[in-house]
Structure formats: structure tokens, C-alpha cells
Homo-oligomer: A and B are copies of this chain.
Amino acid sequence: MGFYHRSHTTKNMKELDIIDRIRKRSGKPGKGLKLGIGDDCAVIKAPADSFILWAADMLVEGTHFNLKSAGYRRVGRKAVAVNISDIAAMGGEPLYVTVSIGLPRGTKAGAVDALYDGIFGICKEYGLAVAGGDTNRSERLVIDVSILGSAKNKKILTRAGAAEGDLVLITGPVRDGKRCHLDFEPRLRESRTLSGRYRVSSMIDTSDGIALDMARICSGSGTGCVLYEDAIPLSAGLSLKDALYYGESFELLFTMPPSEAKKLFRDMKRKKECPFFVIGEITPPTKGRTLIRREGRKEKLKAEGFKHL
């Protein structure tokens, strides 16, 4: 740990060299990070009267990305971005990450630098500190990021809180996961807007597509839902099918009482762009999960999502 464990070296670059480069770039600890890269553990002072949010997401070469077309920088960036999205989906503030990587033998120093360009770039953009991690040799590139964030107790938005009559909203227009999954901005700004001023009853990020992530909210909350095809805002070129069943768009899918939605849209009117869209409503569990097509036909929403095989 601390980018310091076992010396599984790559042929062209030793772990200690890598650690040295990373440590130099990570700067001094701060913001509650008492001790960062370079010991057995990172040491953190937890924010007073807040809860800790903690997530981990792994990206594997060949499963989540094609290294040749993606490039190291974008892979590093995405590995952090998906974790920020997890914190945003709970209504929290991201604070620190640890980064564990497996690097193929013979990885060039320039490639490692590019990977960390992506990691440190997005960390800087979102005010995060890199607190530690682990470097190893692996046949194919693998990167696992663990993130810590914080949230006030009352502001934590889980999947279990939607109530009958709540509206279903999404940030958007929904991005094309096939095209933007390496370059998306996590919806942290939108999450801050929501958790700061409105009563949101449940929230999730659409990593697996609206259908499966909606199923998770319904399952967590013990409800059904109805979504309207007409109302789902699609970015240019994105098919409804991909929005529902492909995922990798990392929008925030959430629910709130109609009165809160009214307040939200009234406040948003002053801005030129509103990134929030009502796409349906929460129903009793006996109603299941339904999609109303443009022409009025009803379809069952399947609990199926992104399968990367």
C-alpha cells in the first residue's frame, strides 16, 4: 500500500520509480488528509458530523476499454470519473482516492505518465487528493480506484426512498455511453444542486442503463414505475434502446415529490439550460415497471442492462 508495497516491477519501469513519480505529482497532504502516499496506510481526519461514503470500481483492459483506441490518459481519467459518479449518486462530496494498478510488463514510462495525467487531471478538476494505492505487474492493464467522500446524514441519497406519486427525473440529455464512456463528466454539479436545496427521495447513477438502474430504485424502494418514451431526453444519435439497456452514460436518475420538482424547475427557469428532465413517475409495486411508447403502447421494462461480453 501507499504505492509502496511489494516490488512487482515492470520491465521498463521499476515500481519504486513509478511511486516516486506519483508521489512527486501528488503534492502535500491537506484537507483532512494527514498522511498520503508513502506509508502502510493513508491517514484521514473524518469530517465532523458527517458520514463517510466509500466506493470502489475496477476497470479491466479488454472488458471495459480497448487500450489502443482509448489511450492511457482517458483510461486513468475514467477510472476516477466512475467513482466520482458513485459519490455524486449518493449526494456526497468526493474527497480522496486510492489507485491500485496492474501494469503489463514493458509498459513505457510515457504510458505510465499518461495514465497518471488522466488520474491527476480529473482529481485536480474535482478537488480530490490521491491518498495511496498499489502498483503491480499484470498481463493486461487493470485499474481499481477506491474513493472516500462525505455527506451529512440527512443528505445521503440511497436507492430506497422513492414513494408512490413521486416523479422520476434524470439529468440529461442522456449521453451516448458507447461514444462518451471514456470522457464523460460525472454529474457532481447537478448532485450538489439537488442535495443542497431539494428533497430528493432516491438517486442512482445510470451506469447500467435506465431500465436496470430504475429497477434498482424500484426494488430498493418497494415500488413500481412508469416511464414515458417521449419524455426521455436523448443526446444526438442515441437510440432509446441504448439509453434504456446499454448504460455507461452516468446520468443521475432520481425521484422527488411533485412539489419539489415544481420548486426545482421554477428555480431552474432563471438559468439558460436546465439539466433535469421528468421522465415518469413512481407507482405502487403491483403495477410493475412500465414504459409508455410514443404511440401509447405499454411495454414491460426489463431488469436488464449493459453486458460487456
Contacts and interface: CB of A to CB of B under 8 A. Distances in A.
Given A137-B308, A308-B137, A100 B144 contact: yes
A7 B41 contact: no
Most B CB atoms within 10 A — which of A1, A41, A87?
Answer: A41
Most B CB atoms within 10 A — which of A35, A39, A62, A105?
Answer: A39
B90 A40 contact: yes
A205 interface: yes
Given A90-B39, A142-B102, A8 B57 contact: no
A158 B39 contact: yes
Contacts of A308: 6-8, 137
Nearest to A47: B46
Copies in the complex: 2
A138 B138 CA distance: 11
Contact of A57 (B35, B90, B134): B134
Contacts of A43: 51-54, 90, 151, 156, 158
A306 interface: yes
Contacts of A55: 1-2, 40-42, 98, 132
Given A40-B89, A46-B46, A54 B98 contact: yes
A86 interface: yes
A91 to B, nearest CB: 10
Interface string A118-143: 00000000000001111011111010
Interface string A284-308: 0000000000000000000001111
Contacts of A6: 64, 207-208, 247-248, 305-306, 308
Contact of A7 (B100, B142, B306): B306
Nearest to A1: B55
Interface in A8-31: 8-9, 11
Nearest to A35: B158
A208 B19 CA distance: 15
A205 to B, nearest CB: 6
A57 to B, nearest CB: 5
Given A6-B305, A63-B102, A56 B1 contact: yes
A44 B1 CA distance: 22
Most B CB atoms within 10 A — which of A58, A90, A146, A247?
Answer: A58
Interface of A: 1-2, 4-9, 11, 34-35, 38-46, 50-60, 62-64, 82-83, 86-87, 89-90, 92, 96, 98-102, 105, 131-134, 136-140, 142, 144, 146, 148-149, 151, 156, 158-160, 204-205, 207-208, 212, 216, 220, 247-248, 305-309
9 contacts: A41-B87, A43-B54, A44-B53, A44-B54, A57-B100, A58-B144, A60-B136, A63-B102, A63-B137
